[in-house]
Amino acid sequence: MILRITFFALMALGLVGFGTVAWISTRPPPPPAVAAAPPAPTKTTVLAAARPTRAGMLLKPEDVASKEIPISEMRPDLSPDTPEARRALSGAMVRRSLSVGEPVRAGDVMRPGDHGFLAAVLGPGMRAVTVGVDAITGSAGLIWPGDRVDLILTQTIAESTTPIGRRVAAETVLSDVRVIAIDQQLVQGMEANASDAQARTVTFEVTQEQAERVSVAVRLGRLSLAVRSAETPPPGTQLAAAPNTTWAVDVSPALGADAPAPTQNTLKVYQGGADAKEFKF
């Protein structure tokens, strides 16, 4: 009797377990967990003044910084912080003074390609003159609008009667002039698809007399630029004046050294009792 009861109890437990497994297998799988959506951004980055700028200044890359503002304050005249927007501001003229961190708006600047840019950036009575320089003579692309430079002329004198030490000369044509624009163009005589065939046309702010000097200099020889320090010398500081003209012999004294006198050898020939004869060679 006890065995029968135990047998039926075990069968009942087996049926219950089997039914439970069958019921679980017929249940649909639980829905996958849905990842929480990231919160929508509340801020964006725009271009702003990195330092105090005054009206009339030409912006350099270091004059522009990024600033975070709420998206609700974003306006169409603000520039998002992108490489293209930064390049577009390089060389632009500031129309009004900006404080540190103040966003740069479209109406605050005038870009070199805008109509009337040169007329607006030039001082009263000044002129704009453009010269072409390659990547080497243009200080390897390190010159920016707003920099002050010296314009140096290097020329070769192809006169055979001129001493070798006086056949190459360099002189400063213009000193402390402001760069107001830089554009790229292809070097004449080189292929358009050459990666190193790019030159720069540099536009300076000059007087009428200086513009005439530049027009002559471009016909005489090679022009190069020397960037001047942004720091203003203290009052009373005297800078050493460079010589008016630097000749090749000033750089390499060997070009002006006198040629050594030729060495002469003497040979005496005796023939019998006759006097000796001297031969020099």
- For 142-181, how does the pLDDT look when each residue is reduced to its tens digit (9 = 90+)? 788 888 999 999 999 888 788 888 889 999 999 999 998 8
Instruction: Using the 3D structure, point to which of 69, 95, 121 is the last residue of a domain.
Output: 121
Based on the domain organization, do 147 and 90 belong to the same domain? no
Based on the domain organization, do 90 and 146 belong to the same domain? no
pLDDT at 195: 43
Mean pLDDT computed over 8-17: 66
Based on the domain organization, do 249 and 167 belong to the same domain? yes
Look at residue 32 and tell me if it is in a domain: no
Based on the domain organization, do 141 and 278 belong to the same domain? yes
Look at residue 192 and tell me if it is in a domain: yes
pLDDT at 264: 63
pLDDT band, very low/low/confident/very high, at 90 (cuts 50, 70, 90) = confident
Look at residue 255 and tell me if it is in a domain: yes
Based on the domain organization, do 278 and 165 belong to the same domain? yes
Based on the domain organization, do 162 and 81 belong to the same domain? no
CA 56 to chain centroid, in Å, comes to 21
Look at residue 5 and tell me if it is in a domain: no
pLDDT at 41: 74
Based on the domain organization, do 273 and 249 belong to the same domain? yes
pTM of the model: 0.62
Query: For position 69, which CATH number holds?
Result: 3.90.1210.10
Look at residue 37 and tell me if it is in a domain: no
pLDDT at 244: 79
Question: Residue 133 sits in which domain range?
Answer: 125-230+242-281
Look at residue 83 and tell me if it is in a domain: yes
Phi-psi region of 189 (alpha: psi -120 to 50; beta: other; left: phi over 0): left
Mean pLDDT computed over 52-63: 90
| CA dist., res. 193 & res. 30, Å (int) | 62
Look at residue 173 and tell me if it is in a domain: yes
Instruction: Using the 3D structure, point to which of 105, 121, 137 is the last residue of a domain.
Output: 121
**109-110 and 93-94 strand pairing:** antiparallel
Q: Is the pLDDT of residue 262 over 70?
A: no
What's the alpha-carbon Rg for the chain, to the nearest Å?
41
Instruction: Using the 3D structure, point to which of 121, 142, 164 is the last residue of a domain.
Output: 121
Q: Which residues of 217-230 are buried (b: 16+ CB within 10 A; e: fewer)?
A: beeebbbbbeeeee
| CA dist., res. 63 & res. 49, Å (int) | 6
Based on the domain organization, do 98 and 146 belong to the same domain? no
Based on the domain organization, do 117 and 57 belong to the same domain? yes
Look at residue 144 and tell me if it is in a domain: yes
pLDDT band, very low/low/confident/very high, at 48 (cuts 50, 70, 90) = very high
Q: How many structural domains is the chain composed of? A: 2
Based on the domain organization, do 84 and 149 belong to the same domain? no
**What is the DSSP track for the chain?**
-HHHHHHHHHHHHHHHHHHHHHHHHHSPPPPPPPPPPPPPP-EEEEEEESS-B-TTPBP-GGGEEEEEEEGGG--TTBPBS-HHHHHHHTTPEESS-B-TTPBPBGGGEE-TTSTTHHHHHSPTT-EEEEEEEETTTTGGGT--TT-EEEEEEEEE---TTS-GGGSEEEEEEEEEEEEEEEEEEEPTTS-TT-TT-EEEEEEEEE-HHHHHHHHHHHHHSEEEEEEPPSSPPPTTPPPPPPPS-EEHHHH-GGGGSPPPPPP--EEEE--TTSPPEEEE-
| CA dist., res. 192 & res. 86, Å (int) | 26
Based on the domain organization, do 177 and 259 belong to the same domain? yes
- Looking at per-residue pLDDT, the higher value among 41 and 61 belongs to 61
Mean pLDDT computed over 38-61: 87
Based on the domain organization, do 102 and 189 belong to the same domain? no
